[in-house]
Structure 1
Amino acid sequence: MKIKPEISQTDSVVWGLSKNALYTSKSGYALLEIIEEINTPQVESIPPVEKKLWSSLWKTKTTPKLRHFLWRILSGALAVKERLRSRGIQLNVTCSSCNNGVEDIGHVLFHCPVAQEVWALSSIPMPPSGAWSRSVFLNLLHLINCGKRRSQALETGLVFPWILWQIWKARNAFCFEHIRLVPAVVLDKALVEAEVWRELQVPAPQRTSQVVVAQEARKWKKPPSGWVKCNFASSWLDPTSVCGGAWIVRDGYGKAIFHSRRSCPSLPNPVEADLCSLLWTLEDMANLSVDKVIFESSSPYLREAFLLNSSPGINPLINMITQRFHGFSEWYTELVLIESNKVASFIVNSVTRDQRLQSYIGSGGPSWLQTLISQESGSDTS
């Protein structure tokens, strides 16, 4: 009421976002921000329970690949029929495995008869309701909570990512290869993979293991009393030629107990030849019930691939070798000079040099190397 209009002046348009009623670029940008804020719908924040599940999912004790797989499950990013149909691909969404129900993520992983039987065979308890929920979110929340309960066995909380993964792989095998896996086989694959991963993460405390990466001695040395020494070697010429592996086991007196020679088809490089030779050696030692073993090799490739603790994920052979090592109560390995590994080298060279392709395990040492074995045994006076 106190504002007195100037009746004598005509009305005019002015800019209301500046004090002087004149347009400026600064006030223009301010107007655009106000309009965008008004037109943008309010985004609801993630509920605390869902936020906690996402955080727990990325902390799950499993491989990075399986953590990403869990993320895809929760994000709805698995290529099941229902998801493909929602993206415009015209197809029948009925589950191919059971022909009963829509093939969505929850059905494949929890409600399909194959999946239900796998979960029933596992040690993971069902949800409190006695049945899996139609909500994938609630099912994952239950599985993660199972791993946090102290009343549950350790493996119960760790194995569920592998079970989900193997159920998904079984579904793909049926859809694309027409192979139907028995639920017990699916669960067994999951348990084995989970156990291998756990063994690689936590070395068994009761086992003695040591890796010695260099030794200056130029002569073979006897093992300590109560131990045996296993020298092993491989022979590789090129990617098209036959490869060889050999080992010899001697006791604390230098007496040869067993030896072996093996030929195999071509391998792509000398690294794989050395790893295969070591794997065969470990398998043979286990089959012969040999324990408390010093493994000696003169391979420079093993130094890089294994003895310097390269990541086990680099080569599946290293995973298998690691598991075999865990079968011994006490062991360690030594990387020695070629002069300390003559016998094994001579045996394995007979495969590629002399084409002695017959594989065998024999007692004692090779008759044609008895002189060298005796010399090495008698020459060690340390």
Structure 2
Amino acid sequence: MWRVGHGKSIKAWEDKWIPSSGPMVFRNEVAWELNITQVLDLLEENGGRWKRNMVELLCWPPTATTILSIPLPMQPREDCFFWLETINGCYSVKTGYYFIRKKQMEENASTSSTPSLSHAQWTKLWKAEVVPRCRETVWRACLGLLPVKDVLHCRGVVQDPCCPCCPGVPETIHHALFFCPIAKLVLFGSPLAIRVDVECSVQQFLSHFLAAANLEVAGILFTLFYALWQVHNELVYNGREAIVAQVLQRAVALPPSLVLQQDAPPAGRNLQSSWRKPVAGLFKVNFDASMKDSHDAGLGFIARNSHGEVLAAATMVTGPVQNPVLAEALAFRWALGLAAELGLQRVWFESDFLALVQAWERHDSGFSHLYTVVRDCRLLLSNFDAFEFSFVRRTGNCAADALARLAFHFGCIVWIEEDPLEVSSIIQDDVIASMASS
């Protein structure tokens, strides 16, 4: 699709430039009256900003929000194409393959009677009282990602698509988990006493099961599926035949009560701040972003010297943002501009968003919306005599994270040589932690 630069090359009604899978709804009579033909007509004269009033007049609210979430370069730049399936917007054969597979799965789902899981059922799946690897196995089964022989045969990995226990029967995911003889015996012999008589998919079965089961019962079923998948792999790769009693014993070895003990956080406050003071003469800037359901983003900024003293803190609320990655990139661009306005010449920037730091370190010329913002950030480097940018764990970015969340309460505000009372205790913890580490 098109990445918007100066907007001169993109036809507003014919080209694909709006990043949305849903329907786009416009007021055609308004577009006709305003003579809007190119995306350029929706941009301010100097570029860098959308004509917000015009976009909101032209489009219904969901469409207007999507358009306003597209980041624009600070300086006019050529429009270009980019590939949606990668972070940098560059095409690769691997992502092309997965894109085609995803479309095929969507087409198969749309032509079948198999119901997809609702949001509440997906939530219950991920909250089931069981170890994460069991939940992941069920998730992969729902999406058709378990590498059973039928799937591997379709990909050209194996010649024989048949189940190792059932000659002549293709080993599909629902066969491996429900209809293979060992699967039938294990499910029926379990405490749930499940018997599946009708041919069905994993999603179809789970949509009915999760609607009635609680988190503990769901955890038991997921453990059974995980145990079945383990013995399947042992049979295929090691030739070990499964015994029903052993499979059930393996499944019972991870009861929900044990899972809760493993997943529960340890008592007491053992998460210490990992913020570090910069060296003398260098200022450290931490920034972060927080998203709301309305798709607006709150940004947080805090600059400190080598003694841990606050030079400035700030919050800001943006307009609509497409995703957390772009929100973090916009926070970086904002932090760079604000640090330059404050006259900070030697600065060390830190972010707890690894994808942004990796995109920055690659130094490649990406084409996606993310790289529109990253390139702007590189243009701002001329404002600094010394510059560093690195990744820090969330425990070392707590102050900026708190400010980003508070942005929805404070709005756009800057504190000079002081900090909001709401983050004072966090800042004190940072100073104490930096003294201990030194």
TM class, shorter-chain normalised?
A: 0.3 to 0.5
Larger Rg: 1
Q: TM-score, normalised by structure 1?
A: 0.41
When normalised by structure 2's length, the TM-score is 0.36
